[in-house]
Amino acid sequence: MNPKVNNRIALIGCPMDMGASMRGCRLGPEAIRLAGLKTRLEKIGYQVIDQGDVNTTNAYGHHKDRENLNHLDLVKEANENLYKKVHEVMDLGQFPLILGGDHSIAIGSIKAILDHYEDLGVIWFDAHGDINTTDTSPSGNIHGMPVATLMGHGSSQLIDIGQKDHFLKKEHIVYIGSRDLDFGERKIMRDLGVKVFTMHEVDALGIQEVMKQALDYLRERTEHIHVSFDMDILDPEVAPGTGTKVPGGMAYREAHLCLESVAQSNSLVSCEFVEVNPILDHENKTAETAVALAGSLLGEWLI
């Protein structure tokens, strides 16, 4: 990304964690702000407009729903509000940078971006697949369902969030760093033929080659890329403040190289950083890492 391409960034917080079973990432947007995101982006050369947080309603505890859609009403409300806000800033010609919140917020954000870029490509940095449906999810947590929903699969109650005309094409998403996939997710991914680079490929090929292949794959299909970055893609030693930690994740420098590669593609049109849980963190380390990574994604170079 280059400030000359679009020098106006809109920060949008979605402080909602009802898509997960563990509480705390509702505090993520404020933790990321306190870690200095706005100042860091302004130093790169951007005009940063903090749009504040969309309205969300969070509860305490965890309720298992009989229809395998836990806390549906609260998740739907937050995503509908996020959808409207992302639409609003994009209509104003601003670049949306969304701060989560759990990963279910990608339903609202990406649905809005798809209205502006029907050919949108998505790079999904995540330890998990997030492509479950109500039929396959072992937990019923909606933060494990956004990709399926965005493709038009699963419950109509989720699919009906936001616009209902433009869905994410299966050939327009690339997973990077997957290492914890549910049995049902593996089948869905195989059946759809989704492009996946697991941590096995990262180890075997090296992160530079993985990103080259991923970007070449998307470049053949689209000119516009959204980055959805779940902090649990990182090894827990790098990002302890996230709710679904899985050992064996990406190293700090590997993550920076990934996002620097996306920046150099000049195809980035939007992004989100999700699943920062300050309750589980050490001295706001995970939020500070998110800020540093956002800098790399948006063109912060040493020289």
**What's 211's domain CATH number?**
3.40.800.10
Is the residue at 303 inside a domain? no
What pLDDT, on a 0 to 100 scale, did the predictor assign at position 6?
Answer: 84
Query: Can you read off the two tokens belonging to residue 16?
Result: 């909602």
User: How far is it, in rounded angstroms, from Cα 265 to Cα 121?
Assistant: 13
Residue 2 pLDDT level (bands cut at 50, 70, 90): low
What pLDDT, on a 0 to 100 scale, did the predictor assign at position 23?
Answer: 98
Is the residue at 111 inside a domain? yes
* Contact residues for 31 (Cβ-Cβ < 8 A; gap 6+): 241, 276, 278, 281, 284, 286, 287
What pLDDT, on a 0 to 100 scale, did the predictor assign at position 301?
Answer: 78
Q: Domain range holding 153?
A: 8-297
Q: What are the DSSP calls for 48-116, one per residue?
A: EEEEEE------SS----TTS-TTHHHHHHHHHHHHHHHHHHHHTTPEEEEEESSGGGHHHHHHHHHHH
Q: Write out pLDDT tens, residues 210-252.
A: 999 999 999 999 999 999 999 999 999 999 999 999 999 999 9
Is the residue at 179 inside a domain? yes
**pTM (2 decimals)?**
0.97
Is the residue at 302 inside a domain? no
Active-site residues, by number, are 103, 126, 128, 130, 143, 230, 232, 275
Query: Percent of the chain beyond pLDDT 90?
Result: 97
What angle (nearest 5°) sits at the alpha carbon of residue 165, between those of residues 161 and 166?
A: 90
Is the residue at 79 inside a domain? yes
Is the residue at 14 inside a domain? yes
Is the residue at 2 inside a domain? no
Q: Write out pLDDT tens, residues 248-293.
A: 999 999 999 999 999 999 999 999 999 999 999 999 999 999 999 9
Domain count, the chain: 1
